């Protein structure tokens, strides 16, 4: 049974959000990266609910957005998520934090078994107000993400790093049989 929920995930700074935005322009339903939304909102409010501040409250806000996006999806057509619930677990594990609070929910978020992961690409990697990791730390997080999705029996489709956005969109569309 197809549930039409596809995750695009991977290391920070690999072009996931750009790919999700391109899929949106192609007419697909998409969900923004929850972590980025929470960081930007809380920076404006000048509070400490940030990944480098109150991590527990930050993760809870991210989880609530992901849960909402998941529950309101009617699954009548493909939806692309900029990250999935396993991303929270992978980030926490890669940073040495306890992720037990969210691990019990992971089995209830049933995405399509095909997960898209753009390969890390140092030449396009940029730090910003939300993404403050070194490229090397980004690679570690990406490896943990692959580990978590693999452990939950997802099929990883790696998107080659030196591909244009149009080529990346085509790779995704071909894989989900939506040419």
pLDDT at 72 over 80: yes
Calculate the average pLDDT of the chain.
92
3.40.50.300, 3.40.190.10, 2.60.40.420, 3.30.70.260: CATH of 5-33+78-175 = 3.40.50.300
pTM summary value: 0.93
162 vs 98, residue with greater confidence: 162
Name the pLDDT band for 28 (thresholds 50, 70, 90).
very high
Domain boundaries, the chain: 5-33+78-175
* Percentage of the chain lying above the pLDDT 70 cut: 98
pLDDT for the residue numbered 1: 47
Is 80 exceeded by the pLDDT of residue 62?
yes
Model confidence pLDDT, tens digit, residues 88-120? 999 889 888 878 888 888 888 889 999 999 999
Across the beta sheet with 114-118, what order do the strands follow? Answer: 29-31, 79-82, 5-8, 114-118, 155-159
The percentage of residues in the chain with a pLDDT greater than 90, rounded to a whole number, is: 70
* Residue 131 near residue 97, CB atoms below 8 Å: no
* Antiparallel, parallel or unpaired: β 5-8 and 79-82: parallel
Return the pLDDT at 24.
97
Condensed to tens digits (0 to 9), the pLDDT of residues 121-156 reads 999 898 888 888 899 999 999 999 999 999 999 999
Cα end-to-end distance, the chain, whole Å = 20
Residue 170: per-residue pLDDT: 97
């Amino acid at each position: 049974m197809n549930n039409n929920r596809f995750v695009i995930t991977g290391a920070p700074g690999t072009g996931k959000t750009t790919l999700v935005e391109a899929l949106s322009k192609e007419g697909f339903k998409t969900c923004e990266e929850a972590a980025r939304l929470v960081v930007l909102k809380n920076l404006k409010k000048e509070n400490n609910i940030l990944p480098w501040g109150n991590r527990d409250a930050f993760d809870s806000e991210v989880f609530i957005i992901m849960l909402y996006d998941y529950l309101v999806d009617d699954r009548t057509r493909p939806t692309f998520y900029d990250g999935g619930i396993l991303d929270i677990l992978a980030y926490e594990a890669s940073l040495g934090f306890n992720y037990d609070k969210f691990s019990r929910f992971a089995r209830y978020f049933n995405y399509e078994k095909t997960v898209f992961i753009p390969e890390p690409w140092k030449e396009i990697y940029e730090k910003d107000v939300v993404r403050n990791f070194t490229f090397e730390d980004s690679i570690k997080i990406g490896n943990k993400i692959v580990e978590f999705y693999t452990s939950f029996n997802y099929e990883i489709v790696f998107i080659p790093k030196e591909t244009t956005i149009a080529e990346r969109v085509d790779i995704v569309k071909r894989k989900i049989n939506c040419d």
